[in-house]
């Protein structure tokens, strides 16, 4: 398939400098030639809420995401199939896409309806407007007082030149990209299954170590807690609040002393592993509500959706989301690393999930957390268990890291190839002639799960984080 891709026979200079040269027979027109802004508002709020992401485009908002839901969708903007929807604040990251269904989006988004339906195929537009060349253009045309406050307003977007190949070439490009997408998604699904198995193996190793220790013949006693069961008879049982302290009081991340600090939120932590997967400053994230101060070595635990097991040890002084707890253990009794293993363990997660189901928004509050029974051995035995876990978990961790690197390489290759195809650097017409007939519907796969669980959408349907409860 790839071998059949060759450049077009003749090119011309593009009106958009970042695109360089484009096929000579392709048309270029400003966006206002193809689209018009619409501002249709929902009067009932009953339409499906859609999310706009730089990863997935326009899709139904995940049903299990409740932490950023507005109380009502009345007054939200209505978009219809074929409408182009742009997250005005995050346009420079290509947080946009073409809607495939009727729904509502944030009032702060831009919704643009085709002036000439059929002139540009929706799937072609969806790919074209997310290539790096267009990201650069959005950034140049966005305005704001600082990077995290940039906005791409309609009058600026509608001035951007858009490539328009002949309709039959658009169809060929779309067919090629669908075939490429299927192959990549099947690959990612297979790799994700392997990572899931590795995570199950890790959880089994952690569970065995923190529930029974390293001595298979140890005498057990009843913990007196149904969700925990029996524990070694020399282990200590104490309530969470008696061996830990949770940071209180929040700071304003807009203040100069905090704006450039790293801000950790639940989506920055990998589910179940205790690993921080990326770091971004408060300013970069546009943070404007209260956050907690975190010291290096402190544990950060997400109170939202505890089934995802999002906890990690801060590697530096930073801020954390109000949706997380910064926790210090009493080091005369508990090592921070050992407490982290308890927070990631199956028994603790069962307790946290049961508590979270008692309220409308799945979360565990301070009071419930403080009442949890912690079970742990003396410090010397904790050291031995931690060394054991470090050794036993290294192999599955290394294997998972290698798979993520492979997946990232394939994703980058797909993005680069798609950009070359939709911008006319490569001609797909001959390659498409040899593609097999395939169903239009692609098997869904959530690629974000390879790197982190949870909602990775950059979405302005957000409400301020809760201070605490």
Alpha helices for 142-244 (secondary structure H):
154-157, 167-212, 240-243
CA separation (Å) from 177 to 1, 82, 445, 447? 11, 18, 16, 17
Tokens of 293: 């101060």
Nearest to 290 by CA among 265, 256, 320: 320
The helix (run of H) or strand (run of E) holding residue 430 is: helix 429-432
| Listed residue (262, 287, 271) closest to 64, CA to CA | 271
Contacts of 253 (CB under 8 A, 6+ apart): 259, 261, 263, 282, 283, 287, 288, 289, 290, 291, 319
Strand order in the sheet with 318-320: 263-264, 318-320, 292-294
Report the run of H or E that residue 371 belongs to, with start and end: helix 366-371
In the three-class reduction of DSSP (H, G, I as helix; E, B as strand; rest coil), residue 224 is classed as: coil
Residue 15, pLDDT score: 85
Residue pair 272/203 in contact by the 8 Å Cβ criterion: yes
- Under the banding of pLDDT at 50, 70 and 90, the label for residue 449 is very low
Q: Could you tell me which of 249, 250, 221 has the C-alpha nearest to residue 234?
A: 221
Task: Tell me the CA end-to-end span of the chain in Å, nearest whole number.
Answer: 56
Mean of pLDDT over the chain: 88
Torsion of Cα atoms, 138 then 113 then 418 then 15, to 10°: -50
**Do 98 and 393 meet the contact criterion of CB atoms below 8 Å apart?**
no
Average pLDDT over residues 246-265: 94
For residue 178, the model assigns a pLDDT of 93
The pLDDT value recorded for residue 34 is 96
Give how far Cα 164 sits from Cα of 94, 120, 168, 175, 388, Å.
19, 7, 11, 16, 60
Centroid of chain to Cα 375: 33
Residue 445 pLDDT exceeds 90 = no
pLDDT at res. 150: 84
| Residue 128 and residue 173 in contact, taking contact as beta carbons nearer than 8 Å | no
CA dist 162 and 99 (Å) reads 18
pLDDT at residue 352 is higher than 80: yes
Tokens of 344: 């990631």
> pLDDT at residue 237 above 70?
yes
Q: What is the pLDDT of residue 66?
A: 41
For the ranges 49-63, 99-113, 171-185, 421-435, which has the lowest average pLDDT? 49-63
Local confidence band at 65 (pLDDT 50, 70, 90 cut-offs): very low
**Around Cβ 143, how many Cβ atoms within 10 Å?**
10
pLDDT of residue 120: 95
Q: If you average pLDDT over residues 2-10, what whole number do you get?
A: 88
Q: What is the pLDDT of residue 194?
A: 96
User: Which pLDDT band, with edges at 50, 70 and 90, does 316 fall under?
Assistant: very high
Calpha distance 132→92 (Å, rounded): 9
47: DSSP letter: S
* Nearest CA-CA partner of 372 in 391, 357, 344, 350: 350
What domains can be seen in the chain, in order of their start residue? Answer: 27-164+463-469 (3.90.220.20), 214-376 (3.90.220.20)
Phi then psi for residue 461, to 5 deg, are -80, 30
Query: Taking the CB of residue 82, how many other CB atoms lie within 10 A of it?
Result: 16
For range 81-95, the mean pLDDT: 92
Residue 96 · residue 135 · CB < 8 Å: no
Condensed to tens digits (0 to 9), the pLDDT of residues 406-443 reads 999 999 999 999 999 999 999 999 999 888 877 655 55
Ordered DSSP codes for 8-57: -S-EEE-SSGGG-EEETT-EEEEHHHHEEEE--B-SS--SPBEEEETTTE
Question: Which has more pLDDT, 360 or 376?
Answer: 376
How far is residue 58's CA from residue 54's CA, in Å, rounded to a whole number? Answer: 9
Q: What is residue 281's DSSP assignment?
A: B
Give residue 434's pLDDT: 86
Per-residue model confidence (pLDDT) at position 146: 67
Angle, in degrees to the nearest 10, between helices 346-356 and 336-344:
60
Mean pLDDT for 203-213 is: 94
Task: Report pLDDT for 451.
Answer: 46
pLDDT score, position 71: 66
pLDDT, residue 462, reads 38
pLDDT-derived band of residue 144, with 50, 70 and 90 as boundaries?
confident
- Which residues fall within 8 angstroms of residue 40, CB to CB, at 6 or more apart? 77, 78, 111
Altogether, the residues listed in the chain come to a count of 469
C-alpha span between 182 and 172 (Å, rounded): 16
How many Cα atoms within 13 Å fall on the side-chain side of residue 326?
24
Q: 263-308: per-residue pLDDT in tens?
A: 999 999 998 889 999 899 998 888 889 999 999 999 999 999 999 9
Percent of the chain with pLDDT over 90: 75
What is the CB neighbour count within 10 angstroms for residue 367?
Answer: 10
**Percentage with pLDDT > 70 across the chain:** 90
Looking at 48-62, 307-321, 342-356, which range is the least confident one? 48-62
Q: How many CB atoms lie within 10 A of CB 19?
A: 20
Tell me the average pLDDT across 374-391. Answer: 97
The torsion defined by the Cα of 258, 260, 261 and 263, in degrees rounded to 10, comes to: 100
pLDDT-based confidence at 453, cuts 50/70/90?
very low
* Nearest Cα to Cα of residue 231 among 350, 368, 374, 370: 374
Q: State the Cα torsion 420-422-428-429 to the nearest 10°.
A: -150
Residue 377, token pair as written in the block: 């051995």
Q: pLDDT for 353-362, tens place per residue?
A: 999 887 667 8
**Res 250 pLDDT > 70:** yes
Report pLDDT digits (tens) over 24-33: 999 999 999 9
Structure tokens at 334: 């508990």
The DSSP code for 290 is: -
């Amino acid at each position: 398939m790839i071998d059949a891709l060759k450049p077009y026979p003749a090119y011309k200079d593009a009106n958009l400098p970042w695109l360089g040269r484009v096929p000579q027979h392709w048309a270029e027109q400003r966006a206002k030639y193809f689209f018009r802004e619409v501002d249709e508002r929902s009067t009932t709020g009953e339409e499906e809420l859609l999310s706009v992401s730089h990863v997935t485009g326009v899709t139904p908002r995940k049903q299990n995401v409740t932490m950023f839901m507005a109380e009502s969708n009345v007054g939200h903007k209505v978009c219809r199939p074929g409408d182009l929807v742009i997250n005005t604040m995050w346009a420079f990251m290509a947080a946009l896409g073409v809607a495939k269904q009727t729904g509502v989006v944030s009032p702060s988004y831009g919704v643009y309806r085709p002036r000439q339906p059929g002139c540009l195929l929706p799937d072609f537009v969806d790919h074209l407007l997310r290539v790096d060349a267009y990201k650069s253009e959005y950034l140049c045309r966005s305005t704001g007082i600082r990077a995290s406050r940039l906005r791409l307003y309609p009058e600026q977007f509608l001035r951007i030149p858009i490539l328009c190949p002949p309709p039959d070439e658009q169809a060929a490009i779309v067919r090629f990209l669908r075939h490429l997408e299927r192959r990549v998604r099947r690959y990612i699904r297979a790799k994700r299954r392997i990572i899931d198995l590795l995570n199950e193996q890790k959880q089994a190793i952690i569970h065995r170590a923190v529930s029974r220790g390293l001595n298979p013949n140890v005498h057990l006693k009843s913990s007196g807690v149904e969700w925990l069961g029996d524990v070694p008879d020399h282990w200590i049982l104490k309530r969470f609040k008696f061996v830990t302290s949770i940071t209180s009081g929040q700071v304003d991340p807009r203040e100069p002393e905090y704006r450039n600090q790293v801000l950790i939120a639940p989506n920055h932590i990998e589910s179940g592993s205790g690993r921080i997967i990326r770091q971004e400053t408060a300013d970069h994230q546009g943070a404007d509500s209260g956050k907690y101060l975190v010291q290096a070595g402190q544990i950060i635990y997400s109170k939202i959706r505890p089934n995802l097991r999002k906890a990690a040890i801060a590697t530096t002084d930073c801020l954390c989301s109000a949706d997380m707890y910064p926790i210090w253990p009493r080091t005369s009794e508990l090592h921070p690393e050992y407490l982290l293993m308890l927070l990631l363990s199956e028994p603790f997660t069962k307790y946290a999930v049961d508590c979270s189901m008692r309220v409308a928004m799945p979360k565990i509050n301070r009071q419930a957390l403080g009442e949890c029974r912690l079970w742990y051995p003396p410090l010397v035995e904790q050291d031995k268990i931690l060394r054991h876990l470090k050794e036993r978990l290294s192999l599955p961790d290394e294997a998972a890291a290698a798979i993520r690197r492979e997946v990232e390489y394939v994703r980058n290759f797909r993005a680069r190839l798609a950009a070359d195809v939709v911008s006319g650097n490569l001609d797909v017409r001959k390659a498409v002639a040899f593609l097999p007939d395939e169903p239009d519907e692609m098997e869904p796969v959530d690629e974000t799960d390879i790197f982190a669980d949870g909602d990775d959408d950059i979405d302005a349907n957000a409400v301020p984080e809760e201070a605490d409860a």
